[in-house]
Structures are given as structure tokens and as C-alpha cells.
């Protein structure tokens, strides 16, 4: 807190100018009204960037691109999704399909050459912009994080998107059983 120190006649004139009523020439000390419920009554949170729908759409597009072009193919956590798929080869043709029973996951090791096709299948049929938007909006709502802080939490989002993708694949397998 700063204090007003009177060192000269000019400082005294400034003080008189601040607190003296120009009409009555009496000294009026201003009264500050505040609400003690607020920690800082002079601060109101206005976060235009966080509420901007166009910025949110750009963030969603960014994470969709990172998921489909980088994370899905390079992060080891997404390799765990391969056990829910089968690759059947006949001659020069291959066929990627979901396993029929999620309780009996695929024991066969999918080669790295075939894993590219499985990831393309996941990218085509399971990962969409709407999927990423839904996951990000849910994450922002539950953690109360700002949209511009999502870039700092990309490691958490990699795990979250992998978990949601796994749940989506398993629920699709159960629906196909019915």
C-alpha cells in the first residue's frame, strides 16, 4: 500500500485539490464502498479469448490434426488399441475388421506394416472432428481449464483421447454383437 507523504507546498496543494470540495471549500474524505465477499472488488474476469467460438474451433482443429497425423501413429498408448482388431489377408488383399468378442481380445500380433492399415481404419471410422470436440469440451467443463491452456496439457489429452477411443471401440463391438 502506498502512502502520500507531504514534502512540499505543492504536495499539500495536490492533497487539497484531491479531497477539497470545490463548491463548499470543505475537506471531504472519500468513502470507498466494497463488498467483502469479493477478494478483489476491482477485478472482474473477462476472458474474451476463452469464450470465442472461433478460437475454440481452431483449437479443436489443431488437436484433431495432431491426433490423426501424429499421435495415433507414433504414441505407444495407441498401440494398445490394435488388440481389438483383426487383419485377414488373402493373397494381395487385406481386410481390417473389429474382433467379435471384446472379452477375447486378439492374441495375434499385428505387424508394423499391418498396424498402419489398422490405424487408417481407426482414423476413418472412429476418429472425427466431432469426437475430438466432444472430448475437449467435456475436459474443459470438468477441469475448468481455459481453452488456451490446453496446449500445455497435451500429454494429458493424449491419454484422455486414447481412453475415450478405447471406450468407443469397445462399445461399438458390443453394439455389433446385438
User: DSSP class of residue 44?
Assistant: -
Domain ranges of the chain: 48-177
DSSP letter for 67, please: I
Place of cell 470540495: 21
**What pLDDT shows up at residue 140?**
96
Segments of 70-175 assigned E as strands: 85-90, 93-98
Q: How far apart are the first and last CA of the chain?
A: 70
pLDDT in tens, 119-132: 999 999 999 999 99
pLDDT tens, position by position, 111-169:
888 888 999 999 999 999 999 999 999 999 999 999 999 999 999 999 999 999 999 99
Q: Cell digits for 50?
A: 476463452
pLDDT recorded at residue 109: 73
Q: Which grid coordinates are listed for 151?
A: 496446449
Q: How many residues does the chain have?
A: 178
Contacts of 89 (CB under 8 A, 6+ apart): 95
**32 or 1, which is more confident:** 32
pLDDT at 16 over 70: no
- Assigned C-alpha cell, 168: 468407443
Q: For 1-10, which contacts have Cβ atoms below 8 Å and span 24 or more sequence positions?
A: none
Number of other CB atoms surrounding residue 149 within 10 Å: 11
Region 13-19: mean pLDDT is 66
Q: Which residues contact 158 (CB under 8 A, 6 or more apart)?
A: 71, 75, 77
Amino acid at each position: 500500500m502506498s502512502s502520500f507523504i507531504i514534502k512540499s507546498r505543492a504536495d499539500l496543494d495536490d492533497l487539497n485539490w484531491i479531497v477539497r470540495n470545490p463548491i463548499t471549500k470543505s475537506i471531504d474524505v472519500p468513502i470507498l464502498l466494497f463488498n467483502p465477499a469479493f477478494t478483489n472488488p476491482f477485478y472482474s474476469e473477462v476472458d474474451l479469448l476463452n469464450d470465442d467460438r472461433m478460437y475454440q474451433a481452431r483449437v479443436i482443429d489443431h488437436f484433431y490434426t495432431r491426433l490423426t497425423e501424429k499421435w495415433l501413429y507414433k504414441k505407444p498408448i495407441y498401440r494398445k488399441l490394435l488388440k481389438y482388431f483383426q487383419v485377414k489377408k488373402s493373397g494381395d488383399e487385406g481386410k481390417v475388421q473389429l474382433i467379435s468378442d471384446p472379452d477375447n481380445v486378439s492374441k495375434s500380433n499385428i505387424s508394423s506394416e499391418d498396424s498402419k492399415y489398422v490405424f487408417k481404419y481407426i482414423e476413418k471410422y472412429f476418429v472425427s472432428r466431432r469426437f475430438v470436440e466432444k472430448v475437449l469440451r467435456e475436459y474443459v467443463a470438468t477441469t475448468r481449464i481455459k481453452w488456451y491452456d490446453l496446449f500445455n496439457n497435451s500429454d494429458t489429452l493424449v491419454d484422455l483421447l486414447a481412453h475415450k477411443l478405447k471406450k468407443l471401440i469397445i462399445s461399438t463391438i458390443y453394439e455389433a454383437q446385438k
